[in-house]
Structure 1
Protein backbone atom coordinates (compact mmCIF):
# COMPACT_ATOMS: atom_id res chain seq x y z
CA UNK A 1 0.00 0.00 0.00
CA UNK A 2 1.30 3.48 -0.91
CA UNK A 3 1.55 6.21 1.66
CA UNK A 4 0.91 9.86 0.86
CA UNK A 5 3.45 12.29 2.25
CA UNK A 6 2.24 15.90 2.29
CA UNK A 7 4.50 18.93 2.66
CA UNK A 8 4.36 22.70 2.86
CA UNK A 9 6.92 24.96 1.24
CA UNK A 10 9.25 26.61 3.78
CA UNK A 11 8.38 30.28 4.22
CA UNK A 12 4.98 30.96 2.69
CA UNK A 13 3.69 27.39 3.07
CA UNK A 14 2.62 27.72 6.68
CA UNK A 15 0.86 31.01 5.94
CA UNK A 16 -1.12 29.40 3.11
CA UNK A 17 -1.94 26.41 5.29
CA UNK A 18 -3.21 28.65 8.08
CA UNK A 19 -5.25 30.85 5.71
CA UNK A 20 -6.54 28.31 3.19
CA UNK A 21 -5.93 24.87 4.77
CA UNK A 22 -3.92 23.20 2.02
CA UNK A 23 -0.42 21.82 1.47
CA UNK A 24 1.76 22.57 -1.54
CA UNK A 25 3.03 19.05 -2.29
CA UNK A 26 2.19 15.39 -2.03
CA UNK A 27 4.36 12.39 -2.81
CA UNK A 28 2.94 8.91 -3.30
CA UNK A 29 5.69 6.43 -4.09
CA UNK A 30 7.77 7.98 -6.87
CA UNK A 31 5.00 10.35 -8.05
CA UNK A 32 4.94 13.96 -6.88
CA UNK A 33 2.14 16.47 -7.46
CA UNK A 34 2.28 20.06 -6.33
CA UNK A 35 -0.39 22.69 -6.05
CA UNK A 36 -0.17 25.73 -8.28
CA UNK A 37 2.72 27.98 -7.29
CA UNK A 38 2.55 31.69 -7.93
CA UNK A 39 5.35 34.20 -8.25
CA UNK A 40 4.94 35.41 -4.69
CA UNK A 41 7.55 35.95 -2.01
CA UNK A 42 7.30 34.63 1.55
CA UNK A 43 4.93 37.49 2.41
CA UNK A 44 2.65 36.56 -0.53
CA UNK A 45 3.44 39.75 -2.44
CA UNK A 46 4.17 39.89 -6.16
CA UNK A 47 6.83 41.74 -8.15
CA UNK A 48 5.69 44.47 -10.55
CA UNK A 49 7.41 42.84 -13.53
CA UNK A 50 5.66 39.91 -15.22
CA UNK A 51 9.06 38.38 -16.03
CA UNK A 52 10.13 38.51 -12.38
CA UNK A 53 6.80 37.00 -11.34
CA UNK A 54 7.21 34.04 -13.71
CA UNK A 55 10.83 33.46 -12.63
CA UNK A 56 9.74 33.56 -8.98
CA UNK A 57 6.94 31.07 -9.72
CA UNK A 58 9.57 28.70 -11.16
CA UNK A 59 11.69 29.24 -8.03
CA UNK A 60 8.67 28.45 -5.87
CA UNK A 61 8.01 25.25 -7.84
CA UNK A 62 11.64 24.27 -7.21
CA UNK A 63 11.35 24.99 -3.48
CA UNK A 64 8.11 23.03 -3.29
CA UNK A 65 9.45 20.02 -5.20
CA UNK A 66 12.43 19.91 -2.82
CA UNK A 67 10.11 19.42 0.17
CA UNK A 68 9.28 15.92 -1.12
CA UNK A 69 12.65 15.01 -2.64
CA UNK A 70 12.12 16.07 -6.26
CA UNK A 71 13.67 18.60 -8.64
CA UNK A 72 12.82 20.25 -11.96
CA UNK A 73 14.67 17.43 -13.74
CA UNK A 74 12.03 15.01 -12.36
CA UNK A 75 9.13 17.04 -13.82
CA UNK A 76 7.11 15.25 -16.50
CA UNK A 77 4.06 17.51 -16.80
CA UNK A 78 3.36 21.23 -16.38
CA UNK A 79 0.06 23.09 -16.30
CA UNK A 80 0.43 26.85 -16.35
CA UNK A 81 -2.38 29.30 -15.77
CA UNK A 82 -2.09 32.81 -17.15
CA UNK A 83 -3.98 36.08 -17.02
CA UNK A 84 -3.63 37.05 -20.71
CA UNK A 85 -1.88 40.34 -21.39
CA UNK A 86 -4.03 40.78 -24.50
CA UNK A 87 -7.58 39.49 -24.72
CA UNK A 88 -7.83 35.95 -26.10
CA UNK A 89 -4.08 35.19 -26.17
CA UNK A 90 -1.43 34.39 -23.60
CA UNK A 91 1.25 35.86 -25.85
CA UNK A 92 4.99 36.23 -26.04
CA UNK A 93 5.38 38.13 -22.76
CA UNK A 94 4.44 34.91 -20.95
CA UNK A 95 5.73 32.31 -23.42
CA UNK A 96 9.25 33.71 -23.79
CA UNK A 97 9.96 33.60 -20.06
CA UNK A 98 8.26 30.22 -19.56
CA UNK A 99 10.38 28.63 -22.28
CA UNK A 100 13.58 30.29 -21.02
CA UNK A 101 12.90 28.86 -17.56
CA UNK A 102 12.16 25.36 -18.91
CA UNK A 103 15.47 25.35 -20.78
CA UNK A 104 17.40 26.76 -17.82
CA UNK A 105 15.98 24.29 -15.31
CA UNK A 106 15.47 21.17 -17.44
CA UNK A 107 18.12 21.42 -20.16
CA UNK A 108 17.18 19.40 -23.23
CA UNK A 109 14.46 17.47 -21.40
CA UNK A 110 11.01 18.83 -22.13
CA UNK A 111 7.85 18.06 -20.16
CA UNK A 112 4.36 17.89 -21.54
CA UNK A 113 2.84 21.35 -21.06
CA UNK A 114 -0.66 22.79 -21.08
CA UNK A 115 -1.18 26.56 -20.95
CA UNK A 116 -4.53 27.82 -19.77
CA UNK A 117 -5.68 31.42 -20.05
CA UNK A 118 -7.93 32.40 -17.15
CA UNK A 119 -9.85 35.47 -16.02
CA UNK A 120 -8.57 35.37 -12.42
CA UNK A 121 -6.16 33.50 -10.16
CA UNK A 122 -6.11 32.89 -6.40
CA UNK A 123 -4.61 36.17 -5.21
CA UNK A 124 -5.11 39.82 -6.19
CA UNK A 125 -2.48 40.94 -8.70
CA UNK A 126 -1.42 37.38 -9.55
CA UNK A 127 -0.74 36.84 -13.28
CA UNK A 128 0.69 33.32 -13.47
CA UNK A 129 0.45 30.03 -11.58
CA UNK A 130 2.41 26.83 -12.29
CA UNK A 131 1.43 23.30 -11.27
CA UNK A 132 3.63 20.28 -11.98
CA UNK A 133 3.76 16.52 -11.73
CA UNK A 134 7.12 14.82 -11.24
CA UNK A 135 8.30 11.24 -11.34
CA UNK A 136 11.32 10.61 -9.13
CA UNK A 137 13.66 7.69 -9.98
CA UNK A 138 12.23 7.35 -13.48
CA UNK A 139 14.11 5.51 -16.20
CA UNK A 140 14.51 7.63 -19.33
Structure 2
Protein backbone atom coordinates (compact mmCIF):
# COMPACT_ATOMS: atom_id res chain seq x y z
CA UNK A 1 0.00 0.00 0.00
CA UNK A 2 1.43 3.40 -0.93
CA UNK A 3 2.35 5.76 1.87
CA UNK A 4 0.57 9.06 2.04
CA UNK A 5 2.78 12.12 1.88
CA UNK A 6 1.92 15.79 2.44
CA UNK A 7 2.26 18.32 -0.37
CA UNK A 8 2.68 22.06 0.17
CA UNK A 9 3.00 24.88 -2.37
CA UNK A 10 6.21 26.94 -2.44
CA UNK A 11 4.50 30.02 -0.98
CA UNK A 12 2.34 28.27 1.58
CA UNK A 13 -0.02 30.53 3.48
CA UNK A 14 -0.30 30.82 7.25
CA UNK A 15 -3.54 28.82 7.57
CA UNK A 16 -1.72 25.50 7.17
CA UNK A 17 0.38 26.17 10.26
CA UNK A 18 -2.33 27.97 12.22
CA UNK A 19 -4.88 25.17 11.80
CA UNK A 20 -2.50 22.21 11.47
CA UNK A 21 -3.36 20.63 8.14
CA UNK A 22 -1.65 19.75 4.86
CA UNK A 23 -2.42 21.56 1.62
CA UNK A 24 -2.74 18.15 -0.03
CA UNK A 25 -1.98 14.50 0.50
CA UNK A 26 -0.47 12.37 -2.24
CA UNK A 27 -1.58 8.72 -2.06
CA UNK A 28 -0.39 6.60 -4.95
CA UNK A 29 -1.35 8.40 -8.14
CA UNK A 30 -4.07 10.44 -6.45
CA UNK A 31 -3.82 13.91 -4.93
CA UNK A 32 -6.39 14.93 -2.31
CA UNK A 33 -6.31 18.72 -2.05
CA UNK A 34 -7.65 20.37 1.10
CA UNK A 35 -10.17 23.15 0.71
CA UNK A 36 -8.47 26.21 -0.77
CA UNK A 37 -9.75 29.65 0.12
CA UNK A 38 -9.02 33.16 -1.07
CA UNK A 39 -6.43 33.92 1.56
CA UNK A 40 -3.66 36.40 1.53
CA UNK A 41 -0.20 35.12 2.55
CA UNK A 42 -0.84 36.09 6.18
CA UNK A 43 -3.93 33.85 6.28
CA UNK A 44 -6.54 36.61 6.27
CA UNK A 45 -9.49 36.55 3.87
CA UNK A 46 -9.51 38.73 0.76
CA UNK A 47 -12.56 40.95 1.38
CA UNK A 48 -13.61 41.40 -2.28
CA UNK A 49 -15.59 38.27 -3.24
CA UNK A 50 -14.49 38.06 -6.89
CA UNK A 51 -10.85 38.47 -5.87
CA UNK A 52 -11.35 35.91 -3.08
CA UNK A 53 -12.58 33.35 -5.61
CA UNK A 54 -9.68 34.11 -7.96
CA UNK A 55 -7.21 33.75 -5.08
CA UNK A 56 -8.77 30.42 -4.10
CA UNK A 57 -8.17 29.17 -7.66
CA UNK A 58 -4.61 30.56 -7.61
CA UNK A 59 -3.96 28.78 -4.30
CA UNK A 60 -5.43 25.60 -5.80
CA UNK A 61 -3.14 25.88 -8.84
CA UNK A 62 -0.11 26.35 -6.56
CA UNK A 63 -0.93 23.17 -4.62
CA UNK A 64 -1.51 21.21 -7.82
CA UNK A 65 1.79 22.48 -9.25
CA UNK A 66 3.65 21.39 -6.11
CA UNK A 67 2.52 17.83 -6.87
CA UNK A 68 3.27 18.02 -10.60
CA UNK A 69 -0.39 18.50 -11.57
CA UNK A 70 -2.46 21.09 -13.42
CA UNK A 71 -6.14 21.94 -13.47
CA UNK A 72 -6.57 19.39 -16.29
CA UNK A 73 -5.62 16.58 -13.88
CA UNK A 74 -8.62 17.28 -11.63
CA UNK A 75 -11.32 14.61 -11.62
CA UNK A 76 -13.52 15.74 -8.71
CA UNK A 77 -14.40 19.20 -7.36
CA UNK A 78 -16.37 20.21 -4.29
CA UNK A 79 -17.01 23.88 -3.65
CA UNK A 80 -18.53 25.55 -0.63
CA UNK A 81 -20.48 28.83 -0.80
CA UNK A 82 -21.86 31.04 1.97
CA UNK A 83 -24.48 32.63 -0.32
CA UNK A 84 -24.78 30.42 -3.40
CA UNK A 85 -27.56 32.33 -5.10
CA UNK A 86 -25.82 35.71 -5.11
CA UNK A 87 -22.35 34.22 -5.68
CA UNK A 88 -23.22 31.89 -8.56
CA UNK A 89 -22.41 34.26 -11.44
CA UNK A 90 -18.96 35.11 -10.04
CA UNK A 91 -18.10 31.47 -9.31
CA UNK A 92 -19.29 30.29 -12.72
CA UNK A 93 -17.11 32.93 -14.40
CA UNK A 94 -14.06 31.68 -12.46
CA UNK A 95 -15.00 28.07 -13.22
CA UNK A 96 -15.21 28.87 -16.94
CA UNK A 97 -11.76 30.49 -16.85
CA UNK A 98 -10.32 27.46 -15.03
CA UNK A 99 -12.06 24.83 -17.19
CA UNK A 100 -12.75 26.47 -20.57
CA UNK A 101 -13.45 23.26 -22.52
CA UNK A 102 -14.55 19.68 -22.08
CA UNK A 103 -13.82 17.29 -20.56
CA UNK A 104 -14.89 19.00 -17.35
CA UNK A 105 -14.34 17.54 -13.89
CA UNK A 106 -17.42 16.49 -11.97
CA UNK A 107 -18.45 19.23 -9.53
CA UNK A 108 -20.55 19.39 -6.38
CA UNK A 109 -21.47 22.80 -4.95
CA UNK A 110 -22.61 23.04 -1.34
CA UNK A 111 -24.19 25.99 0.44
CA UNK A 112 -22.83 26.51 3.96
CA UNK A 113 -23.31 29.11 6.66
CA UNK A 114 -19.71 29.38 7.88
CA UNK A 115 -16.24 29.18 6.32
CA UNK A 116 -14.12 30.75 9.05
CA UNK A 117 -14.40 34.26 7.61
CA UNK A 118 -14.26 33.21 3.96
CA UNK A 119 -17.13 33.04 1.47
CA UNK A 120 -15.82 30.43 -0.99
CA UNK A 121 -13.76 27.27 -0.67
CA UNK A 122 -12.75 24.69 -3.28
CA UNK A 123 -11.35 21.19 -2.71
CA UNK A 124 -10.40 18.68 -5.37
CA UNK A 125 -9.12 15.21 -6.12
CA UNK A 126 -6.63 14.99 -8.99
CA UNK A 127 -4.83 12.16 -10.71
CA UNK A 128 -1.07 12.71 -10.65
CA UNK A 129 0.50 12.30 -14.11
CA UNK A 130 2.82 9.30 -14.30
CA UNK A 131 4.91 10.23 -17.36
Is the TM value for this pair above 0.5? yes
2:123 is matched with which residue?
A: 131
Deviation at 1:55, TM superposition (A): 0.9
1:53 is matched with which residue?
A: 52
2:3 is matched with which residue?
A: 3
Structure 2 counterparts to residues 96-107 of structure 1, below 5 A: 96-107=89-100
C-alpha distance in 1 between matches for 2:16 and 2:97? 30
1:29 is matched with which residue?
A: 28
| Residues matched between the structures, number | 129
Per-residue displacement from partner, 1:42-82 (whole Å, max 9, x unpaired)?
Answer: 11122222111111111111111111111111111111111
Report the TM-score, using the length of structure 2 for normalisation. Answer: 0.87
Report the TM-score, using the length of structure 1 for normalisation. Answer: 0.82
Poorly superposed stretches of 4+, deviation over 3 Å? none
Structure 2, unaligned stretches of length 5 or more? Answer: none
Deviates more, 1:69-78 or 1:43-52: 43-52
Structure 2 residue 112 is matched with structure 1 residue 113: no
